[in-house]
Chain A
Amino acid sequence: QVQLVQFGAEVKKPGASMKVSCKASGYTFTGYYMHWVRQAPGQGLEWMGWINPNSGDTNYAHKFQGRVTMTRDTSITTAFMELSRLRSDDTAVYYCARIYCSSPSCYFDYWGQGTLVTVSS
Chain B
Amino acid sequence: EIVLTQSPGTLSLSPGERATLSCRARQSVSSTYLAWYQQKPGLAPRLLIYGASNRATGIPDRFRGSGSGTDFTLTISRLEPEDFAVYYCQQFAELPLTFGGGTKVEI
A26 within 8 A of B: no
CB distance from B34 to the nearest CB of A (A): 9
Q: Are B35 and A111 in contact (CB under 8 A)?
A: no
Number of residue pairs spanning A and B whose beta carbons lie under 8 angstroms apart: 60
Which of B30, B35, B43, B96 makes the CB contact (< 8 A) with A62?
A: B96
Q: Are A105 and B50 in contact (CB under 8 A)?
A: yes
Chain B residues positioned under 8 Å from A8 (CB to CB): none
Interface centre among A45, A62, A111 (most CB of B within 10 A): A45
Interface size class of A (residues with CB under 8 A): 20 to 34
Closest to A45 in B: B99
Q: Are B99 and A47 in contact (CB under 8 A)?
A: yes
Tell me which residues from 16 to 67 in chain B have a Cβ below 8 Å from any Cβ of chain A.
30, 32-33, 35, 37, 43-47, 50-51, 54, 56
Chain A residues positioned under 8 Å from B44 (CB to CB): 95, 97, 111-114
Q: Are B56 and A109 in contact (CB under 8 A)?
A: yes
- Give the docked Cα–Cα distance between A34 and B56 (Å): 19
Q: Are A106 and B96 in contact (CB under 8 A)?
A: no
Which of B47, B95, B99, B100 makes the CB contact (< 8 A) with A107?
A: B47
Tell me which residues from 69 to 107 in chain B have a Cβ below 8 Å from any Cβ of chain A.
88, 90, 92, 95-102
CB distance from B85 to the nearest CB of A (A): 14
Residues of A within 8 A of B (CB): 35, 44-47, 59, 61-62, 95, 97, 99, 104-109, 111-114
